[in-house]
């Protein structure tokens, strides 16, 4: 009989999740990544990262790699209440404290560069400015305008060529601020419902200039931004999150062109020798959509054919599934989102096959440490149990 309760050490060592991997010149100790997770702990409009965020990220420093929450590249990029930025001196200084602390704890950390495009309103953008997008089409999305407040998006203003140039410059500036703040690299949020997806999505991009129409044109802004960021960082410290999976709501319903557009992106991204491309499995119900055949792991099998570099797999993947996907060669890293919210010591729990803490979705977004920094580690739980037993 096989004793499944005590896996021998030699067997555990062979798990690909625990095999180190090179990330440019950095060696990550394992392939377990903390996915980007907006947590709304920055209520002041200045968007400066703070002490509670330092505690939260340091708690998770055993991840092979931490990707920060989506972080705005400019005022214009803002579209979510209480999310941070990486474009002012104060934000740089705030992040520096966090990256220093994570490095001291043995971790590695990159920042997700975020521009919400049309998925915002004047209040969130601030300074009396309108939301900007490829075209003046309402994306029909629900906005988070406060801890308890939501509003629907308005019709944005179509970007001029100068607005596009400014956006490219803003990403380059933010990439430099990220470097100055001590990050190990950056990830460009290139998908879901945000600026670059708005350009890629035919129903939201009605432009007739070189940024609209053909797939080359719809993808142009993303590659211009990528090349601007590559003027600041070596390619092996830059990643892109992209893929066909969207909310399947409002303006972000998949179209017949959605998959060919992702194939084009993945094929072209291979040439850049990036640190990674991050792909999401489905989150929405794909029944009856043009992506129906990409349900479950099918999207990973499909896109692996188009991207030869390091793939980071994400969405709805637990540890056993992650190991299986790596063993099949479908990717090189696996990012865990909600499991990382609830388990600061996720690496240790996966190593020991230990149970995970129960998630508290009601505090995924919130103002303080409740549901943020108070999830126990295994050692806390063990200490509590012995205190109860002894007392
Ligand atoms: C509370 C919350 C916040 C999120 N914030 C971001 C974000 O800022 N940027 C991003 O690219 N994805 C974000 N996501 C998506 C996650 O990175 C991840 O794709 C998703 O949770 C699915 O992975 P999981 O099944 O491992 O949780 C968020 C998800 C959740 C639940």
Two tokens, residue 79:
């579209």
Three-point CA angle 254, 258, 259, nearest 5°:
120
pLDDT in tens, 133-145: 999 999 999 999 9
Q: How confident is the model at residue 3 (pLDDT cuts 50, 70, 90)?
A: very low
Can you tell me the mean pLDDT for 288-314?
A: 97
The response to whether residue 37 sits with its C-beta less than 6 Å from ligand 1 reads yes
Distance 1 CA to ligand 1 centre (A): 40
DSSP 377: P
Spell out the residues 6+ positions from residue 178 whose beta carbon is closer than 8 angstroms to its own.
Answer: 86, 95, 111, 113, 186
Residue 21 has pLDDT above 50, yes or no: yes
Residue 5 has pLDDT above 80, yes or no: no
Residue with the nearest Cα to atom 2 of ligand 1? 37
Give the integer Cα–Cα distance in Å for 26 and 114.
24
Q: How confident is the model at residue 171 (pLDDT cuts 50, 70, 90)?
A: very high
Residues involved in catalysis: 194
Can you tell me the mean pLDDT for 61-68?
A: 98
Can you tell me the mean pLDDT for 68-96?
A: 98
Q: How confident is the model at residue 387 (pLDDT cuts 50, 70, 90)?
A: low
Can you tell me the mean pLDDT for 44-53?
A: 96
Residue 129 has pLDDT above 70, yes or no: yes
Other residues' Cβ atoms within 10 Å of the Cβ of residue 182: 16
What is the model's pLDDT at position 9?
Answer: 42
For 9-390, CATH number?
Answer: 3.20.20.70
The ligand 1 atom at the shortest distance from the C-alpha of residue 364 is 1
Give the integer Cα–Cα distance in Å for 363 and 341.
10
Residue with the nearest Cα to atom 19 of ligand 1? 315
Q: How confident is the model at residue 383 (pLDDT cuts 50, 70, 90)?
A: confident
Residues 94/50, Cβ–Cβ less than 8 Å: yes
Residue 23 has pLDDT above 80, yes or no: yes
What is the model's pLDDT at position 24?
Answer: 78
pLDDT in tens, 224-234: 999 999 999 99
The response to whether residue 237 sits with its C-beta less than 6 Å from ligand 1 reads no
DSSP run (H or E) holding 157: strand 157-158
Two tokens, residue 23:
């990330």
Distance 338 CA to ligand 1 centre (A): 7
Residue 11 has pLDDT above 90, yes or no: no
Give the residue extent of every domain in the chain: 9-390
- Determine phi and psi for 164, rounding to 5 degrees: -65, -45
DSSP 373: T
- Ligand 1 pocket: which of 32, 33, 34, 36 to mutate (most atoms <8 Å of CB)? 36
Residue 331 has pLDDT above 60, yes or no: yes
The ligand 1 atom at the shortest distance from the C-alpha of residue 314 is 23
Q: How confident is the model at residue 384 (pLDDT cuts 50, 70, 90)?
A: confident
What is the model's pLDDT at position 386?
Answer: 63
Residue 103 has pLDDT above 60, yes or no: yes
What is the model's pLDDT at position 32?
Answer: 98
Can you tell me the mean pLDDT for 73-78?
A: 98
CA 75 vs CA 79, 188, 249: distances in Å: 9, 17, 26
Which residue intervals of 126-232 are DSSP H helices?
161-180, 195-200, 215-229
Q: How confident is the model at residue 347 (pLDDT cuts 50, 70, 90)?
A: very high
Instruction: Output the average pLDDT for the chain.
Output: 94
Other residues' Cβ atoms within 10 Å of the Cβ of residue 202: 16
Q: Where are the beta strands (DSSP E) in the chain?
A: 21-23, 26-28, 32-34, 65-72, 109-114, 132-133, 142-144, 150-152, 157-158, 185-189, 238-241, 276-280, 311-314, 333-336
pLDDT in tens, 215-268: 999 999 999 999 999 999 999 999 999 999 999 999 999 999 999 999 999 999
Residue with the nearest Cα to atom 22 of ligand 1? 315
What is the model's pLDDT at position 381?
Answer: 84
Can you tell me the mean pLDDT for 101-110?
A: 98
Other residues' Cβ atoms within 10 Å of the Cβ of residue 240: 27
What is the model's pLDDT at position 382?
Answer: 81
Q: What percent of the chain has pLDDT over 90?
A: 91
Sign of the CA dihedral running 315, 318, 319, 323: negative
The response to whether residue 315 sits with its C-beta less than 6 Å from ligand 1 reads yes
């Amino acid at each position: 009989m096989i004793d499944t309760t005590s896996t021998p050490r030699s067997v555990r060592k062979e798990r690909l999740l625990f095999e180190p991997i090179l990330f440019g010149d950095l060696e990550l100790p394992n392939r377990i990544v903390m996915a980007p997770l907006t947590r709304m702990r920055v209520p002041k409009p200045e968007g400066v990262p703070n002490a509670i965020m330092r505690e939260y990220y340091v708690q998770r420093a055993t991840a092979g790699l931490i990707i920060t929450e989506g972080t705005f590249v400019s005022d214009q990029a803002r579209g979510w209440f209480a999310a941070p930025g990486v474009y002012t001196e104060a934000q740089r200084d705030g992040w520096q404290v966090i990256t220093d602390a994570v490095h001291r704890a043995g971790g590695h950390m990159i920042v997700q560069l975020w521009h919400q495009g049309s998925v915002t309103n004047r209040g969130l953008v601030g300074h009396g400015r309108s939301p900007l997008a490829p075209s003046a089409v309402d994306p029909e999305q629900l906005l988070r305008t406060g801890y308890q407040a939501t509003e629907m998006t308005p019709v944005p203003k179509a970007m001029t060529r100068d607005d596009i140039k400014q956006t490219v410059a803003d990403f380059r500036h933010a990439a430099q601020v990220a470097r100055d703040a001590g990050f190990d690299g950056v990830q460009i949020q290139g998908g879901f419902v945000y600026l670059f997806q708005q350009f890629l999505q035919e129903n939201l991009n009605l432009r007739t200039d070189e940024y609209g129409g053909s797939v080359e044109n719809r993808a142009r802004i993303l590659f211009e931004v990528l090349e601007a960021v590559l003027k600041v960082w070596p390619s092996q410290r830059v990643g892109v999150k992209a893929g066909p999976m969207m909310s399947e709501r409002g303006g972000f319903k998949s179209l017949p062109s959605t998959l060919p557009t992702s194939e084009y992106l993945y094929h072209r991204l291979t040439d850049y020798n990036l640190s990674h491309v991050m792909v999401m499995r489905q989150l929405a119900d794909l029944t009856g959509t043009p992506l129906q055949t990409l349900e479950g792991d099918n999207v990973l099998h499909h896109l692996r054919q188009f991207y030869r570099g390091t793939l980071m797999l994400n969405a709805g993947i637990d540890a056993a599934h992650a190991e299986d996907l790596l063993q099949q060669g479908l990717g090189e890293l696996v990012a865990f989102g909600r499991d990382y919210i609830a388990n600061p010591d996720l690496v240790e729990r996966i190593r020991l096959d230990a149970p995970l803490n129960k998630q508290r979705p009601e505090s995924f977004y919130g103002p303080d440490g409740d549901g943020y920094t108070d999830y126990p580690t295994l050692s806390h739980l063990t200490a509590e149990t012995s205190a109860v037993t002894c007392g």
